[in-house]
């Protein structure tokens, strides 16, 4: 497997892949650190190449935690994308996991759930039955999404947040850590608190 991004998130993904006996055979980064990653040379990313991204002989995962940057890179790079699902995660055979998605230790994805492409399902997150999680979203550690929740593209659900059943959360939203969401959230909104309330709206991400 190849990774794109040599920051802290790549360390987590590397650990997952190593636990599955999958070797990381190459890394790319747009701002390569001076140090090598466990002795591996970090190759220039697509913004530094000045030409098309090379054809790879193994799947790629974008190991970047920022949702909008992950989305931008996925639009720039033509590659065969893999997934990284830790062995302690519980994924229903009736759930769907999109390409490029990473599921960390202890996370649960229940029957009927559909998780999009390039999503990060973090440590011990709980995605209950019939949820729909849009591309490039991030469900943070210990967040709980009850049944029939919809989460839009690029949205970040904060650590320990709870979303009650049948709630729709829009595109490119931010749900604050520990928030309790009991009503729908419009696109680009940031919500915090218990019950969660809108405190601001963001601009739509550029270049997407």
> Is there a contact between 74 and 136 (Cβ–Cβ < 8 Å)?
yes
Instruction: Choose the catalytic residue: 129, 138, 148, 156.
Output: 129
User: Is 129 a known active-site residue?
Assistant: yes
Which residues, at least 6 apart from 52, have a Cβ–Cβ distance to it below 8 Å?
78
Distance CA 151, CA 16 (A): 25
Q: CA angle, 140 as apex, 46 and 5 as ends, to 5°?
A: 15
Going by C-beta distance under 8 Å and a sequence separation of 6 or more, which residues neighbour residue 127? 107, 108, 109, 110, 113, 115, 121, 133, 139, 145
Tell me which DSSP letter residue 20 carries: T
Q: Return the residue matching tokens 């991204």.
A: 53
Give φ, ψ of 109 to 5 degrees.
-125, 115
> Which residues are annotated as catalytic?
129
């Amino acid at each position: 497997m190849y990774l794109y991004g040599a920051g802290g998130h790549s360390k987590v993904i590397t650990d997952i892949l190593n636990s599955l006996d999958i070797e990381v055979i190459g890394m790319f980064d747009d701002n390569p650190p001076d140090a090598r990653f466990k002795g591996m040379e970090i190759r220039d990313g697509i913004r530094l190449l000045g030409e098309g991204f090379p054809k790879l002989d193994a799947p790629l995962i974008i190991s970047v935690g920022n949702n909008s940057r992950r989305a931008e890179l996925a639009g720039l790079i033509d590659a065969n994308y893999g997934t990284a699902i830790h062995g302690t995660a519980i994924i229903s055979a009736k759930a769907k996991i999109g390409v490029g998605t990473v599921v960390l230790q202890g996370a649960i994805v229940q029957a009927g759930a559909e998780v999009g492409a390039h999503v990060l399902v973090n440590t011990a997150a709980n995605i209950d039955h019939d949820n729909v999680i849009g591309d490039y979203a991030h469900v943070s550690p210990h967040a709980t999404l009850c049944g029939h929740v919809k989460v839009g593209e690029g949205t970040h659900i904060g650590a320990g947040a709870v979303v009650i059943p049948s709630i729709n959360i829009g595109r490119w939203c931010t749900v604050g850590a520990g928030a309790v969401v009991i009503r729908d959230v419009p696109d680009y909104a940031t919500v915090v608190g218990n019950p969660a309330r809108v405190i601001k709206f963001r601009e739509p991400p550029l270049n997407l």
